[in-house]
Amino acid sequence: MNDNQMINHFPNHYELSRKDLLVKNIKRYRKDLERDGNGLAEKAESNWSNSASTRYLHLDFVPITFVLPADYNMFVEEYRKNPQSTWIMKPCGKSQGAGIFLINKLSKLKRWSREAKNAFHPQIAKESYVISRYIDNPLLIGGKKFDLRLYVLVTSFRPLKAYLFKQGFCRFCTVKYDTSVTELDNMYVHLTNVSVQKHGTEYNSLHGGKWSVQNLALYLEGTHGKEVTDRLFGSISWLIVHSLKAVAPVMANDRHCFECYGYDIIIDNNLKPWLVEVNASPSLTSTTVTDRILKYKLIDNILSVVLPPDGVPE
The pLDDT tens digits along the chain (314 residues) read 788 889 999 999 999 999 899 999 999 999 999 999 999 999 887 765 555 567 888 999 999 999 888 888 999 999 998 888 889 888 886 655 567 888 888 888 888 777 765 555 544 445 688 999 989 899 999 998 899 999 999 999 999 999 999 999 998 888 788 876 555 666 656 666 555 555 555 555 556 578 999 999 999 999 999 999 999 999 999 999 999 999 999 999 999 999 999 999 999 999 999 999 999 999 898 888 999 999 999 999 999 999 877 665 54
State the pTM of this model.
0.88
- SS3 of residue 64 by DSSP: coil
Domain end among 92, 113, 134:
134
Rounded CA separation 171/210 (Å): 5
* CATH of residue 195: 3.30.470.20
Residue 56 lies in a domain: no
Instruction: Let me know whether 121 and 193 are in one domain.
Output: no
Q: Which domain holds residue 225?
A: 1-17+137-308
Asked whether residue 54 is domain-assigned, the answer is no
70 and 171 both lie in a single domain: no
Domain boundary among 134, 169, 187: 134
**Residue 118 domain-assigned?**
yes
Residue ranges of E strands in 183-282: 210-212, 259-267, 273-279
Q: Is residue 24 part of a domain?
A: no
Q: What is the largest CA-CA distance in the chain?
A: 63
Q: State the total domains in the chain.
A: 2
Q: Is there a single domain that holds both residue 246 and residue 126?
A: no
Hey, is 1 helix, strand or coil? coil
163 in the same domain as 88: no
User: Are 173 and 269 within one domain?
Assistant: yes
User: Do 173 and 300 belong to one domain?
Assistant: yes
